[in-house]
Structure 1
């Protein structure tokens, strides 16, 4: 079965190389050189399985485009960029990138990383501790009961789960979700409080989500 890839790359030579190479591995790859066209396409077509995103683009920084695409739909994103310094890589992963390839690289490596990510995504249901998570249907089940998370609560919960046993700052939570970039810390705290309430977690003696004073939160597994 062919899988659909959205490529955002303004280097037309690189763009053609990637499109042609992915075609040999049964990927349907739609390529765009301008961020606005990529956004329009992604809004109108929900069939994409993965996005390959360059950072150095006309009229919009790649990280800003990353956030906009994540707000439209949650799909895996591989950053493909000549900006290979550690600062950009850290920022990319903080935003929720599934992988980061520094140019130049061999196209075969890109294919292997795509296949690895899609293989993990194929099984949308997973069990983490007391929770059964269905990413495709955006549901969380605990003790056979479906937890009624809002869209933002689900995004925050999934980010904390993805970073289990790691401290997540409020800024990282903000960047990894569709919350407005001007959202205050207290709004994030309110969403965390609602999540705790829905999963029966006592904020004074938390079993799942622990507060890290002055930084943020940590999901304990």
Structure 2
């Protein structure tokens, strides 16, 4: 019962965590602070976990990652549209190199599972281990980008997305441990560390909100009134 609850909670948080970022990136068109490599991995990693879920019979993984992969694709598209520099050959090569590893593993896993006498349950652990390893790498770009450049504009990052990510990773960590799925637990543990770092950076460097236009207008009127009184000798 506990494992089922943790799985459902992790799935619910995972499916909802990307949508605050989708709203900020696709609707508000704010993408400053996003790592292109992390966004690319946000598309291909769900493909890997969908394949893992199909091979291992974990339907909850399939449903969850279909939703998260769709959201990841929307965020990546918004990033490429709003920041032309991210479409340069060099930037695309870096993102493609990271994504290509996962896509290759997915393809090879599918081919292996199609061989005579090979069951999906036999291939899934190997794919899961590789995905867990890639999770270590995919968790690095976003926090590294924030820590490396402490003056960059972070207006394109959604704090809610990373808080939900920390909650989702906590649930998947416990789920993986209790169900005996080391790849799931390892991937969630790394994701939890990454999300915690990003949450900490966003909290420490939270933007100072500009004063509302009404308040600015009021201060302008007050300054004019004060100057007029001074000129009148009052």
For the aligned pair, the TM-score class normalised by the smaller chain equals under 0.3
Structure (1 or 2) with the larger CA radius of gyration = 2
- Greater relative contact order structure (CA < 8 Å, 6+ sep): 2
* Richer in strand (by share): 1
More helix by share: 2
Q: TM-score, normalised by structure 1?
A: 0.27
